[in-house]
Every structure is written in C-alpha cells, then in structure tokens.
Amino acid sequence: MLKKLTVHDFLVLREPFESGRQSPGSLGVALILGSLLQILMLTIEHYLMKPNYYPNAAEIFKYHLCFSLVLTILSLVYVISHRNIRSQRIQYLLSIVVSHNLSTISFLILMIFLLGTVDGISPSLLQNLTKGILLCGAIVFLITSIRFYILLKKGAYRKGSKTGLLRGKLEKNIGAYLPTLIASGTGISLIIHALVRNVTRLDLDVITFVLIAVLIINTMLFVLPEQLVILYCKYRFLSFNFDQNGNLYSVSKDTKGKKKNGNRKKTAHI
C-alpha cells in the first residue's frame, strides 16, 4: 500500500530524528527508563494479583513478567549496540514494544486486576469488560490507521504541504483526536454502567483509575499507526537512519538511488 509513495511523502515523520529526540542515544535512554518503570508496574501488578476475582490472574501476571524480562534484556543489548543501521531499526522496533508494554499492556492488566479486587464482582463480568476495552482499542487503531493512510496519500506529510503537517497544525485539530475521544468515552461509559448495575459498592478511586487507564490505552493505540509507519521508513529509507558518527543520512541518499535506477531502465528500453 505504501510502496508507491516516495521518501518525500514521509519527510514530516523524519523530524524527530532531525531534532535528535529519536536518535539511537535518546532511544537508549528511553529503553533504560522504560525498563525501570516496568519494574514498578510489575510490582503493583503483583500486589493487586493476590486478592483477585479475575480468572487466571496469577497466570496472566506470570506471562507478563516473563515477557517484560525478555524485553528488559533486549533493551540492555540494544542500548549498547545501536551504531549499526540494522541495530537501529531493531532498537526502534524494541522501543515501540517497550512503550506499549509499559503504557498499554500494563495499564490494561492493572485496570482489570484493580476491578478484580472489587467485592461482589463476577469473573464473567470482568471478562466481558476486558473484551469491551479491547474492542474499543481495536476501533481506535483501525480508524486512526485508515485516517493516517489517507493523509499520506494526500501528501499531508510532505515538507511544507499546504494541508498542514507542519505537524503542529494537524495535531491541534480536534478532529485528529476524535477516534480516541469517542472510543474512550464509549468504553468508560460502558464500564461504569456495567459496574453500577452489578456491583453494590464502587469506590471513587477505582472509577478514577479506570478513566485514566482507558484514556492512556486508547491514546497509545492512537499513536501506534504513526510509530509503525516510521519503523517502515527506517527499513525502507536510509535517510531515516544515522551513520556511524551519529549523523542523520541525507534525503539525497534515497533520491539518488531512484534516479539511477530510472536512468538504467530508460537505457535498457532504448
């Protein structure tokens, strides 16, 4: 779907690399911080797991613990070896997985474990609430992906494009956040409605955490399509990567290759 687009259609997405915010060094620091914060989240998960009505809570925690430990080990490896271009690409992929493990998976588990501590709540209700949250998240991801693809096709991520991206103008548009707001609002209202109908006593702190968790989960799924497209660009275009000296490759590295290939085709045709 994206093969017909050239490097110029993605240049706005290159800005985090130009500013150094997503350089291999910066991502290395983010991976270390993410691993440390993940330990804190796992500690809270373990605390909430013990008195819990959620089905197979211990198994869920065990698998998430093992998955997080593997990510932590890989993070340490790719903090050290980030100079190689191939390592940069894997490091960026790893940063996406680590960020979603910390902010999406962990908050989902914390939320369902916290709801699982509420007296009088049934395991079937907990499972239905989990399915509802996952469905809302899938809708956010799907709508955002379609919207992102349409914007790319329109040239909205070209440098200096009139439609806006000059990133800030688009991000300030409230329409950009409608999928997240609608899905989050729907998810929160369904959860609260189900809890009020089936649970006799519901604390304000539980409701507050559910609200925050749903917003965080859907916001992370809202940014996931962009993260995946940037990862695609790192694999397809040299100009989304850094050389051995830590300098970003020039866009001309990608455009020159295409011009040469075009000239070869013309010569062969003649």
- For residues 238-249, average pLDDT: 88
Taking residue 70's Cβ as centre, other Cβ atoms within 10 Å add up to 11
CA distance 160 to 14: 13
Residue 248, strand partner residues: 242
| Cβ 234 vs Cβ 150: under 8 Å | no
Nearest to 114 by CA among 214, 37, 219, 209: 209
Confidence of residue 83 (pLDDT cuts 50, 70, 90): low
In order of 33, 87, 100, 102, 171, the CA distances from 40 in angstroms are 11, 28, 15, 10, 31
Give me the amino acid identity at 61: F
Torsion sign, CA atoms 131, 135, 136, 138: positive
pLDDT in tens, 183-241: 667 777 777 777 667 666 667 788 888 888 988 998 899 999 999 999 999 999 999 99
pLDDT in tens, 127-156: 888 888 898 889 889 988 998 898 888 888
Q: Tell me the three state secondary structure of residue 165.
A: coil
Calculated CA dihedral for residues 56, 62, 65, 69, nearest 10 degrees: -150
In order of 54, 86, 102, 109, 135, the CA distances from 119 in angstroms are 12, 51, 27, 18, 26
Give the pLDDT score at 173. Answer: 55
Q: What contacts 231, CB < 8 A, 6 or more positions away?
A: 89, 92, 93, 96
* DSSP track, 34-72: HHHHHHHHHHHHHHHHSS--STTHHHHHHHHHHHHHHHH
pLDDT in tens, 109-132: 999 998 888 877 888 888 888 888
Give the pLDDT score at 189. Answer: 76
